[in-house]
Amino acid sequence: MSTINKEEWLRDIEKRVSVDFFKTLSEASLEELHYVFSREALGLLKNNWTQTSNHWNKEKAKMAYYFSAEFLMGRWLSNALINMNLYEEAGDAAKKLGIDMNALEEAETDAGLGNGGLGRLAACFLDSLATGNYPSMGYGIRYKYGMFEQKIINGYQVEKPDNWLVHGDVASIKRPDEAVEVKFWGRVAIEKDHNNKNYYHLYDYESIIAVPYDLPVPGYGTSTVLTLRLWQASSPDGFDLDLFQAGEYSRAVSKETQAENISRVLYPNDNTVGGKQLRLRQQYFFVAAGLADLIRRFKKQWGTDFSKLPDAVAIQLNDTHPVVAIPELMRILVDEEHLDWDTAWGICIRVFAYTNHTLLAEALEKWPINIFAPLLPRIYQVIEEINRRFLHFLHQKFPGDWQKHKEMEIINDGVIKMAWLAIVGSHSINGVAQLHTDLLKTQELKMWYELFPEKFNNKTNGVTQRRWLLKANPALANFITTRIGDGWITNLDELSKLEQFASDPKAQEEFMAIKLKDKQLLAKYIQQHNNIKVNTSSIFDVQIKRLHEYKRQLLNALHIIYLYQRIKSDPNYHVTPRTFIFGAKAASGYHMAKLIIRLINAVADVVNHDPVVSDKIKVVFLENYRVSLAEKIIPASDVSEQISTAGYEASGTGNMKFMMNGAITLGTLDGANVEIAELVGRENSVIFGLTADEVNAQKMSYNPHQVLAQDPEIAAVVEALHDPIFASENVHMFEPIYQSLLYGVDGNPPDKYMVLKDFRSYINAQKQVEALYADEKNWAKMMLINIARSGKFSSDRTIKQYAEEIWDIKPYPPKK
């Protein structure tokens, strides 16, 4: 491990402030100090970083490449320092400058280059890959603007651009020497070579330059540093001098602007796709750049013997966003490297693996041919050929089964089905939790499972304990290490040793004191940001995740209305004091989701200002939910709300972060909640609602009006959506929510996500939470058991399974 000389560090910091900003230490802003601290840390990583890639190159280690349109990295500096084992020393150095590390950390803007779980999974995976010394690399897009910044104004979400690079790029290195050309549009011409074989060339294309920016990801307790390579788009010829000289400035630069638009902004949709041309441009842009880059690296090591490619390279496709990599690699192998089709196809299948992340139909990418074909004419031809050969295979396998052929065709009905292309072109298809994989096999992808059973496998998601426990909750980390040593930091299964302390009164007491301190810290944040005073002995009941109807924040909000009505009708009605905490961004075009945010804020307004109610319950909506905010909220949580309609949440990873920090899961049997409940048992979790099978069986016959007819309390809650107490602007403001629950909107069935169906069961589950919380000793024990049994949910375990079961790669620890 690297160490630093503190005096030297301080001198360097001072020098950098002077060189980079022409300022003295005392004149520098926190952002500037953060920048120089980061660049200083980067300098300390430099040797390990180059040694890592040199080592892997020299050993010709097989590499895993993680292709993802999203990497939700959060803050870099403190995480890097912790992994480098320099956090305390850097903190001391900062103190000598009269600043505390905390303030320095808070000056860093999150790298929010992702929407939610899928992007954060990619970030956790990089941490586990580096820590596990796996030869690997990430490829993605360097969006100029990441996930929008959310403001809440008069209860409504307002989006602001996320200008995350405004204070400089703290940790990455631009490498223009390794830029790659990516071609769009154009026309395909067939030419013959000297063997009279046909080859395809693209003419009159638009050329875009992909410039790589490399972000180092240091592993914990190892000198391995891996690279996240993010591509930024630029124009090859800058601006048009002729137009400039003719005084047409905006036209002169428009070409450059258009090129740069490709990496301008992250699409803020989680679990839905828009089918916009620019999004397809983004996808092909980073995929083509990444492939060109790794082929270049392969050739340096192996020459042009492409039969070796599957021994040197594994590529994981994070959802369908990078699936255009399959025809792109075919294009490279056939058109540029002149392999015959069958050989190239065999190589492709061995190289690619695909992760499915969703059971929602609206999230499955389908590109209309009229968008795809003109933009990527040669890639479209390649997909047509893949489809033609696959159809031939289907005809032989299922002669005359036209219905099946139609359903499984990659190109059908004017669209290209990217998930189908992924399945046909990969050797591995994995779901992200056991239930999800089972549902893929038996429902969504049943026909594919029947055709290729050997391709299907499960890889239950995980999260990195370095960020979500060690960094986010240092007091709890210390509590654990004091008792069982620090082996859990790189082997989370060791947390099971904590279980012997679950019933120990001293450990319980100490743990509850830590929980209280964490709650006090969050209470302070809430006071500062929302001007709400919360009771730190109340239950901190938290739902933080993207706002989506299937995640059912609405169920949570309606339950709070229910509690409000109960207390109002009977001021002696007993409730355990509770603080309901929400954090969620809604996609900017998702009106229902935005209206649910408005409803939560309306409920908060009423509840928090009602003297009869506000001593008992408080409602807090924390704006701009993001990684660094999650790090503050999760340690302070008592209850983890994971209440999606069963069968809709593929895995969830928030649920795992909460469990690691002791929160009790209040959830449906959905995604990884199933595995959490299995591990801790029903006595250490609170499970409610329909199962996925029951949801499936009742979908068609379900009628929410019957629920209301049988349960007047629930009917009264639904009527409150029209009550001017909540609908304070006008009584119709929440009409779309009311309509969606009782009649269905936008072609959906009434109450598609069965909020009302599960409502009574949820009310009862919430009562059970209160009863459990009342027994403080048992509650502490439950929390400790949750922590002790969370070992499975380390992304280290997930990555080991990918490495062994899909990629066939081995760790290459650094040489001593």
Ligand X SMILES: *Cc1c(COP(=O)(O)O)cnc(C)c1O
Of the residues 441, 551, 789, 792, only one is catalytic, namely 551
- Quick check: is 357 catalytic? yes
Give Cα separations from 563 to 13, 577, 578, 792 (angstroms): 55, 11, 11, 36
CB of 545 to ligand X, least distance (A): 3
CB of 137 to ligand X, least distance (A): 23
- Quick check: is 653 catalytic? yes
Crossing angle between the packed helical segments 776-788 and 755-774, to the nearest 10 degrees: 110
Residue 527 token pair? 């006071």
Nearer to ligand X, 182 or 630 (CB): 630
Nearer to ligand X, 120 or 792 (CB): 120
Selected binder of ligand X within 212, 654, 667, 689 (CB under 6 A): 654
Range 303-339 burial, b when 16+ CB lie within 10 A, else e: eeebeebbebbbbbbbbbbbbbbbbbbbbbbbbeeeb
Among the residue ranges 16-24, 54-62, 84-92, 625-633, the one whose residues contact ligand X (CB under 6 A): 625-633
Q: Residues 6 or more apart from 188 whose CB is under 8 A from it?
A: 200, 201, 202, 203, 377, 378, 381
DSSP 368-379: EHHHHHHHSHHH
Crossing angle between the packed helical segments 87-96 and 6-21, to the nearest 10 degrees: 70
Of the residues 279, 321, 436, 545, only one is catalytic, namely 545
Nearer to ligand X, 321 or 378 (CB): 321
- Quick check: is 551 catalytic? yes
Residue 425 token pair? 């072109």
Nearer to ligand X, 448 or 648 (CB): 648
Helix, strand, coil: what percent of the chain each, to 5? Answer: 55, 15, 30
CB of 479 to ligand X, least distance (A): 23
Helices (H), 232-337: 241-245, 249-261, 277-302, 309-312, 325-331
CB atoms closer than 10 angstroms to residue 377 = 18
- Contact call for residue 219 and ligand X (CB under 6 A): no
Footprint of ligand X on 657-676 (CB under 6 A): 657
d(CA 88, CA 81): 8
Selected binder of ligand X within 344, 411, 630, 787 (CB under 6 A): 630
Nearer to ligand X, 545 or 578 (CB): 545
To which H or E segment does residue 51 belong?
helix 30-58
Nearest Cα to 134, choosing from 49, 64, 220?
A: 64
Footprint of ligand X on 634-653 (CB under 6 A): 652-653
CB of 541 to ligand X, least distance (A): 14
CB of 55 to ligand X, least distance (A): 32
- Contact call for residue 616 and ligand X (CB under 6 A): no
Among the residue ranges 112-120, 217-225, 227-235, 726-734, the one whose residues contact ligand X (CB under 6 A): 112-120
Nearest Cα to 668, choosing from 700, 695, 690, 639?
A: 690
Nearer to ligand X, 387 or 665 (CB): 665
CB of 627 to ligand X, least distance (A): 5
CB of 435 to ligand X, least distance (A): 14
Residue with the closest Cβ to ligand X?
654
CB 123 within 8 A of CB 49: no
CB of 682 to ligand X, least distance (A): 21
Nearer to ligand X, 184 or 658 (CB): 658
d(CA 414, CA 715): 45
Of the residues 55, 144, 357, 548, only one is catalytic, namely 357
Residue 227 token pair? 């690279």
- Quick check: is 519 catalytic? no
In single-letter form, the type of residue at position 689 comes to: G
Q: What single-letter DSSP state applies at residue 164?
A: T
Selected binder of ligand X within 117, 327, 431, 704 (CB under 6 A): 117
CB 720 within 8 A of CB 565: yes
- Contact call for residue 290 and ligand X (CB under 6 A): no
Nearer to ligand X, 602 or 627 (CB): 627
CB of 114 to ligand X, least distance (A): 8
Q: How many CA atoms lie within 13 A of 759 on its CB side?
A: 28
Selected binder of ligand X within 120, 281, 378, 757 (CB under 6 A): 120
Residue 209 token pair? 């330059």
Give the torsion sign (CA, 394, 399, 402, 404).
negative
Query: In a 3-state reduction of DSSP, which class is residue 306?
Result: helix
Nearer to ligand X, 144 or 657 (CB): 657
CB of 72 to ligand X, least distance (A): 6
Give Cα separations from 292 to 295, 328, 374, 557 (angstroms): 5, 10, 22, 49
Nearer to ligand X, 77 or 650 (CB): 650
Nearer to ligand X, 471 or 545 (CB): 545
Residue 411 token pair? 């190109």
Identify the burial level of 121 via C-beta atoms within 10 angstroms of its C-beta, where 0-12 means exposed, 13-18 middle and 19 or more buried. Answer: buried
Footprint of ligand X on 524-563 (CB under 6 A): 545-546
How many of the chain's residues bind ligand X (CB under 6 A)? 12
d(CA 573, CA 563): 9
- Contact call for residue 116 and ligand X (CB under 6 A): yes
Q: What single-letter DSSP state applies at residue 219?
A: P
Among the residue ranges 96-104, 115-123, 273-281, 689-697, the one whose residues contact ligand X (CB under 6 A): 115-123
Identify the burial level of 68 via C-beta atoms within 10 angstroms of its C-beta, where 0-12 means exposed, 13-18 middle and 19 or more buried. Answer: buried
Among the residue ranges 113-121, 290-298, 510-518, 696-704, the one whose residues contact ligand X (CB under 6 A): 113-121
Of the residues 34, 466, 546, 585, only one is catalytic, namely 546
Give Cα separations from 135 to 309, 321, 350, 508 (angstroms): 15, 23, 18, 41
CB of 630 to ligand X, least distance (A): 4
Among the residue ranges 37-45, 522-530, 626-634, 779-787, the one whose residues contact ligand X (CB under 6 A): 626-634
- Contact call for residue 322 and ligand X (CB under 6 A): no
Which residues is 113 bridged to in the sheet?
71
CB of 654 to ligand X, least distance (A): 3
- Contact call for residue 271 and ligand X (CB under 6 A): no
CB of 52 to ligand X, least distance (A): 27
- Quick check: is 6 catalytic? no
Nearer to ligand X, 463 or 477 (CB): 463
- Quick check: is 467 catalytic? no
- Contact call for residue 101 and ligand X (CB under 6 A): no
Nearer to ligand X, 76 or 726 (CB): 76
Nearest Cα to 737, choosing from 722, 757, 716?
A: 722
Footprint of ligand X on 156-215 (CB under 6 A): none
Query: In a 3-state reduction of DSSP, which class is residue 529?
Result: helix
- Contact call for residue 627 and ligand X (CB under 6 A): yes
Q: What single-letter DSSP state applies at residue 575?
A: -
- Contact call for residue 626 and ligand X (CB under 6 A): yes
Crossing angle between the packed helical segments 377-397 and 341-351, to the nearest 10 degrees: 90
Of the residues 52, 224, 653, 665, only one is catalytic, namely 653
Site residues (vs ligand X, CB under 6 A): 116-117, 120, 545-546, 626-627, 630, 652-654, 657
* Active site residue ranges: 357, 545-546, 551, 653, 657
